Structure 1
Amino acid sequence: MTESNLNFSQKLDEMERIKADSNYLRGTIVEGLADRITGAISEEDTKLLKFHGSYMQDDRDLRDERRRQKLEPAYSFMIRVRAPGGASTPEQWIAMDDIANQYANQTIKLTTRQAFQFHGILKRNLKQTMFDINQSLLDTLAACGDVNRNVMCNPNPYQSDVHAEINQIASDISRHLSPKTQAYHEIWLDGEKVLDTSDQEPEPMYGKTYLPRKFKIGIAVPPSNDIDVFSQDIGLISIIEDGELVGFNLTVGGGMGMKHGNTATYPQVGRLIGYFPKSQVIDVCEKILTIQRDYGNREDRMNARFKYTVDRKGVAWITDELNRRLGWELESKRAFHFEDNGDRYGWTEGSGKHHFTLFIQNGRVKDTEEYKLKTALRAIAEVHTGDFRLSPNQNLVIANVETEKKPEIEALIKQYGLTDGEHYTGLRKNSMACVAFPTCGLAMAESERYLPSLITKIEALLDEAGLNEEEITIRMTGCPNGCARPALAEIAFIGKAPGKYNMYLGGGFAGDRLNKLYKENIDEAEILESLRPILLQYAQERTAGERFGNFVVRAGIVEAVTDGQLFHS
């Protein structure tokens, strides 16, 4: 359904009306920010605010007590700062650290899509925070909302010339597919532009109702699938010949979110439909996005993601429509191979520079009495002449370290006890968790605050089985929306209620196969009781090099899921 023939007398989702009536994402956000009577903004404006990179939240730990005191919820705002490919200069890192200290909750969350995230920002500070972010030459536009989100790619462009080229392509795609509305600059920058990033309205590509739902793009560089390319609406698999990037294999229709109890919703892996030369990457991404704009479901947001459009219309139809819009045909897919979807920890060297990948548990940068991570990273930023790169696994690369600067960086790493995960189990180094409680309004159970302690208890089982060094992916989310991409993990937990989780097993170690529900609505004791015999069996019966996810499928513990439409069967 194209915007030109949208019929608002039909039963479209209410969000379509909100977007259409918003004057290109303006709504009444300015008026809401000026209202000092409440810490909130209107419900419609909260939906529009997402396009600007912010969500309104409240502290759920305080919700009951504030209700008893007849106070409104402890409202605050989350801000997500997009950084294509996870790129950040030391100056930008310091700016993010300042924002965390001055306006947020003194922590920085590194997200699973290589973005910065701040929590606990009060409404009265929201505009100044946005302004300060833009002053650092980063922004929040399209970090959320029914638009193309932060474009992901391998976090270290200095490993090779190919990585650097791909990082630039990620930035180019992000820039090309960004909304063009002036509303962002008017609301947050008083019309001021730090860089000229906008054209004349109306939106030449999105139109006034933008996309039916969010849209995600990622670029993988085999043999690493660190960006989980099959989870993306558009997945680009780099094809490298004789050390040069020649083009991309193309996958379409991946996505992680679903809703408990609704089998019409499911996670899905992207389908591989062909290959194209690198010179066409912007055109291909734009044309696929416009297919979703025109044919995505605008009546039911539960089924509005591109994965459902692909499944409803069929892969062949999507391919034919893409070829028609391009005016040329995709070529046959090229050979590639993925080995894993994790990070390379510790020091690496490439292009004459040095790079240190730091393990950051669940992406939370903060100081504790025992571990001054946030202070340490600021100290490094103050002397570092290279870059910081946020990884898709919520870790951080201190990248592009000059040889003469390496001893100084190494000394700071040692001084603050920063870790590359060397002393952690393979399970912990391959773990991810979303934020969940107390700030996420969608959370049904704990995630980030709980997974580390659960892993400690699972590690006792690993030790019993002699599997402490075994690399196993484990992910947890507090709800089924899939922010930590749990449906691709070898072991996954998706929250159903406080202290209760669905447990899934059998994802591919390289992020190329969905997992399967093993047990439903279980607590910690049941989790440990269920995992122990499986881990012992894996230790005793696995073949050489066999990954845990592959083993549980081969052993018949769960069925292999290669198509999301079979996820609930």
Structure 2
Amino acid sequence: MSDKPLSANEGIKTRSNYLRGQIVDDLADLSTGAVTEDSNQLLKFHGTYMQDDRDLRPDRRKHKLDKAYSFMLRIRLAGGVASTQQWLETDRLADDYANGTIKLTTRQAFQLHGIIKTNLKRTIAEINHAAMDTIAACGDVNRNVMCNPNPHLSSVHEEVQRDAQAISDHLTPQTGAYHEIWLDGEKVESSEEEVEPIYGKTYLPRKFKITIAVPPSNDVDLYANDLSFIAIVEDGKLVGYNVAVGGGLGMTHGNEATYPRLADVIGYCSVDQVVDVAEKVVMVQRDFGDRTDRKHARLKYTIQDRGVDWFKAELHRYLGYDLDEVKPFEFTDNGDRFGWTTDERGVHHYTLFVQGGRVIDTPGYPMRTGLREIAKVHQGDIRLTANQNLIIASVTDERRPEIEALLEKFGMSRSHERSAMRLASIACVALPTCSLALAEAERYLPDVLTLLEEELEKFGLRHDAITIRMTGCPNGCGRPFISEIGFVGRGPDRYNLYLGGGHAGQRLNKLYRQDLPAAKIIETLSPILERYAKEREDGEKFGDFVIRAGYVIATEQGADFHANIKPEALETA
């Protein structure tokens, strides 16, 4: 037991009466568009973050006005699967209550931005009426369970999607607070204290993330998650899952005690055991995770501090049985398959590129309108990818001409003809709404890509899917630390540049330039891309090349992340 005091959030959870706190009173307070800090922390468990428009801060401060507060809502979708009706409802809510856009997240969820406090309850209620929810989309609990979304793997996709949903359902908090606050559920008066059978009164020390991956595609970036299940398929049948634990990417600039870490593959379980294993991994972290320092509270630190062997032994004790030996598997990439694909049943699927995951109508490209019209006639479903893109899934021969015509009409039929680097890009929201952002990401990465594409054309690299990701801060929401090229915001127009991540998400990258001005990004990357084009070996990926060429030293695990940095990387550009 640590002698250090518990973090402030532990007290907030303890006093909250299972996530109720004073949320109801704060929502009723019309004197401000904000909520108290305690309620702000608790609201995350209900799927919402309080934000303000940082572009407006200077002017509002000048006029002695409060910040322009609003709320972001995150809608859970296990495996990223939504019905067309759910898409249409989300699209309607974006206009009725939000800022007219839909954000597709890197965890296969919807985000709505710009919801004012007086509309928050109504929006959540209408989300639930559409058979979706926001509970546990944020907060110190298991969040949206990710799953390989591309149904071209149809022989097992239905099964792994079902397992993702089962894990999600089982790990959903049982508190009645969500229904009481947002859905006018009846309060149950009882002399017995409410019980959270898995989480307990104080839930987890920090957030918890779970994925299911189907080799050879690692599009969910399993190594970046607390817990992952790797589907093992034999003779076309799902036989079980390898279990990986201890991944996570968040860190803090200047704090070497924080670092990204790759998950360790520790064993194998049967399909029937997958929910039980998920529960027990969560329970081990509940009982042994660090509740004194939130920067040290993720499962990756529990395992790094105590060791993988300790964790396996403890997990086996909680399970009452041992995991089996790891079965062979191989990943080859972590990207999406764009355009039309057809599975072995003859069913068609169209993957649409969505820049930065932002579904919006722009001059000359009414994408959101087009998707709305497709959803009105599409008889399959819509699936969100972990790379912020979208799949119009399960299109029959009869319906394909109609869908193709709508894709053409609204300018979406050629989205996959962009450069391969652009198609392999991810950007977090960052400014103006994220309170943690130090620099731009979603609004800036498209401009960087446009300039880089000129270099790619010169060097003959237009069709090379080099993974590139940009985030406004080091918390890792866009998974920059496992991309082949990663930009992490340091301050206005300044980034740390990381190189050398594994193309299939299997290796961390390494710091190459610190505090790089945005204006120097192209001149810094251009000679490296040129050398790659001229000197790469047959089939060699960019991340592998920059290590072989000596630009960075490979990093295999989190504890090594800050070590052996090449001297020039320590210099301010």
**Shorter-chain TM-score: what band?**
over 0.9
Report the Cα offset of residue 10 of structure 1: 5.3
Q: Within 2, Cα distance between the matches of 1:342 and 1:161?
A: 20
Say if 1:62 and 1:74, in contact at 8 Å, map to a contact too: yes
Say if 1:159 and 1:349, in contact at 8 Å, map to a contact too: no
3-state SS, counterpart of residue 23 of structure 1: coil
Q: Within 2, Cα distance between the matches of 1:375 and 1:416?
A: 8
* Closer, same or farther: CA 381–192 of 1 in aligned 2, 3 Å: farther
Q: Within 2, Cα distance between the matches of 1:44 and 1:284?
A: 33
* Closer, same or farther: CA 158–137 of 1 in aligned 2, 3 Å: farther
Q: Within 2, Cα distance between the matches of 1:397 and 1:241?
A: 26
The AA in structure 1 aligned to 2:338 is Y
Does 1:249 pair with 2:226? no
Match of 1:495 among 489, 503, 513: 489
Which residue number in structure 1 is paired with residue 409 of structure 2? Answer: 415
For each residue in 1:94-120, what CA deviation from the matched residue of structure 2 results, as whole angstroms up to 9, or x when unmatched?
000000001000000000000000000
Say if 1:266 and 1:564, in contact at 8 Å, map to a contact too: yes
Spell out the pairing of 1:214-229 with structure 2 (5 A cutoff).
214-229=207-222
Q: Within 1, Cα distance between the matches of 2:155 and 2:463?
A: 32
Q: Within 2, Cα distance between the matches of 1:545 and 1:559?
A: 20
Which residue number in structure 2 is paired with residue 372 of structure 1? Answer: 366
Say if 2:461 and 2:533, in contact at 8 Å, map to a contact too: yes
Q: Within 1, Cα distance between the matches of 2:414 and 2:349?
A: 12
Which residue number in structure 2 is paired with residue 561 of structure 1? Answer: 555
Report the Cα offset of residue 158 of structure 1: 6.0
Match of 2:199 among 194, 203, 206: 206
Match of 2:312 among 319, 330, 335: 319
Spell out the pairing of 1:505-516 with structure 2 (5 A cutoff).
505-516=499-510
Q: Within 1, Cα distance between the matches of 2:518 and 2:286?
A: 43
Spell out the pairing of 1:281-320 with structure 2 (5 A cutoff).
281-320=274-313
Gaps in structure 2 of 5+ consecutive residues: 188-192, 564-573
Report the Cα offset of residue 455 of structure 1: 0.7
The AA in structure 2 aligned to 1:325 is Y
Say if 1:152 and 1:217, in contact at 8 Å, map to a contact too: yes
The AA in structure 2 aligned to 1:484 is G
Q: Within 1, Cα distance between the matches of 2:164 and 2:266?
A: 20
Percent identity over paired residues: 58
Which residue number in structure 1 is paired with residue 569 of structure 2? Answer: none
Alignment: residue pair count: 558
For each residue in 1:349-407, what CA deviation from the matched residue of structure 2 results, as whole angstroms up to 9, or x when unmatched?
22332111001011000001111011000000101111000000000000011221111
The AA in structure 1 aligned to 2:11 is R
Match of 2:322 among 316, 320, 329: 329
Say if 1:85 and 1:114, in contact at 8 Å, map to a contact too: yes
Q: Within 2, Cα distance between the matches of 1:392 and 1:503?
A: 22
Spell out the pairing of 1:94-243 with structure 2 (5 A cutoff).
94-157=88-151, 159-191=153-185, 201-243=194-236
Report the Cα offset of residue 27 of structure 1: 0.5
Q: Within 2, Cα distance between the matches of 1:270 and 1:264?
A: 18
3-state SS, counterpart of residue 272 of structure 1: strand
Report the Cα offset of residue 192 of structure 1: 6.8
Match of 1:342 among 335, 338, 341: 335
Spell out the pairing of 1:431-442 with structure 2 (5 A cutoff).
431-442=425-436
The AA in structure 1 aligned to 2:144 is N
Q: Within 2, Cα distance between the matches of 1:420 and 1:337?
A: 31
Report the Cα offset of residue 420 of structure 1: 5.2
* TM-score normalised by length of structure 2: 0.96
Q: Within 2, Cα distance between the matches of 1:396 and 1:457?
A: 25
The AA in structure 1 aligned to 2:468 is I
Computed over aligned residues only, the root mean square deviation of the Cα atoms, in angstroms, reads 1.4
The AA in structure 1 aligned to 2:306 is K
Which residue number in structure 2 is paired with residue 83 of structure 1? Answer: 77
* TM-score normalised by length of structure 1: 0.96
The AA in structure 2 aligned to 1:442 is L
Say if 1:158 and 1:400, in contact at 8 Å, map to a contact too: no
3-state SS, counterpart of residue 159 of structure 1: helix
Say if 2:151 and 2:349, in contact at 8 Å, map to a contact too: no
Does 1:56 pair with 2:50? yes
The AA in structure 2 aligned to 1:479 is C
Q: Stretches of 4+ moved more than 6 A in 1? A: none
Report the Cα offset of residue 419 of structure 1: 4.0
Which residue number in structure 1 is paired with residue 568 of structure 2? Answer: none
Does 1:464 pair with 2:458? yes
Say if 1:250 and 1:275, in contact at 8 Å, map to a contact too: yes
Which residue number in structure 1 is paired with residue 254 of structure 2? Answer: 261
Does 1:523 pair with 2:517? yes
For each residue in 1:23-55, what CA deviation from the matched residue of structure 2 results, as whole angstroms up to 9, or x when unmatched?
000010000000000000001100000000000
3-state SS, counterpart of residue 362 of structure 2: coil
3-state SS, counterpart of residue 197 of structure 2: coil
Q: Within 1, Cα distance between the matches of 2:150 and 2:543?
A: 27
Say if 1:433 and 1:451, in contact at 8 Å, map to a contact too: yes
Report the Cα offset of residue 466 of structure 1: 1.5
Q: Within 1, Cα distance between the matches of 2:249 and 2:557?
A: 12
Say if 2:456 and 2:529, in contact at 8 Å, map to a contact too: yes
Report the Cα offset of residue 203 of structure 1: 0.5
Q: Within 2, Cα distance between the matches of 1:201 and 1:157?
A: 40
* Closer, same or farther: CA 213–369 of 1 in aligned 2, 3 Å: same
Say if 1:158 and 1:399, in contact at 8 Å, map to a contact too: no
Say if 1:478 and 1:494, in contact at 8 Å, map to a contact too: yes
The AA in structure 1 aligned to 2:21 is G
Q: Within 2, Cα distance between the matches of 1:41 and 1:420?
A: 44
The AA in structure 2 aligned to 1:102 is D
Say if 2:152 and 2:341, in contact at 8 Å, map to a contact too: no
